[in-house]
A and B are shown apart, each in its own frame.
Chain A
Amino acid sequence: NAGVTQTPKFRILKIGQSMTLQCTQDMNHNYMYWYRQDPGMGLKLIYYSVGAGITDKGEVPNGYNVSRSTTEDFPLRLELAAPSQTSVYFCASSLRGSMNSEAFFGQGTRLTVV
């Protein structure tokens, strides 16, 4: 029972490089989310998706892009990495969007931009 799986777990990028953070879930959840967590802070929403083919911006979308071609996968793309994107990234999914919308999180990707 894998739940939400993120890869890679750790990554170091140089300024200006690009990368894709992978996220897949096997719970058949329609709703998926990308959050970032800076040290000592709560999580902030980057992008979310309410179903395949539908994505929307969250609170801090600048410098990121997403796609949702299947129910299972929700990759996050970083273009032209900047030191401000050094953070821990969490992917999450939930079955519903309103009541009883408990979100389940992946193990996180720790990204350092140098």
Chain B
Amino acid sequence: QKEVEQNSGPLSVPEGAIASLNCTYSDRGSQSFFWYRQYSGKSPELIMSIYSNGDKEDGRFTAQLNKASQYVSLLIRDSQPSDSATYLCAVNAGNTGKLIFGQGTTLQVKP
């Protein structure tokens, strides 16, 4: 069974620090990787997508992909209290757009 694993946390960081969120996946055929942010009681919101090995930066967010190690990470620089949310890692392993989600990591940014 295809799996995506995340540490559920909570991960607590002080305001201004770098938050590092990690995700591993089991299916080597996976092609697309996504990070969604979900505030309590709200729907998932796409914040980063990555398709090839290496780093992808967008503002304060950097996604990192290592297909050999089957590992995806999300770095949030200069963390703000508004970044406090659950971050869901999702993997697309086929050509139908079906996503396999990890259970999410709860991030708490303390002022």
Contacts and interface: CB of A to CB of B under 8 A. Distances in A.
Contacts of A33: 97-99
A34 B98 CA distance: 10
Nearest to A42: B101
A74 interface: no
Contacts, number: 74
Contact of A90 (B4, B8, B43, B49): B43
Interface residues of A, number: 28
A39 to B, nearest CB: 11
A101 B33 CA distance: 9
A64 interface: no
Interface in A32-69: 33, 35, 40-45, 48, 50, 56, 58
Contacts of A40: 8, 103-104
Interface of A: 31, 33, 35, 40-45, 48, 50, 56, 58, 90, 94, 96-108
10 contacts: A31-B96, A33-B99, A40-B104, A41-B103, A42-B88, A42-B102, A43-B99, A98-B94, A99-B32, A101-B97
Given A33-B99, A102-B49, 15 more contacts: A31-B97, A41-B103, A42-B6, A42-B101, A43-B44, A43-B88, A48-B98, A50-B97, A97-B94, A98-B32, A99-B32, A99-B51, A103-B97, A105-B43, A107-B43
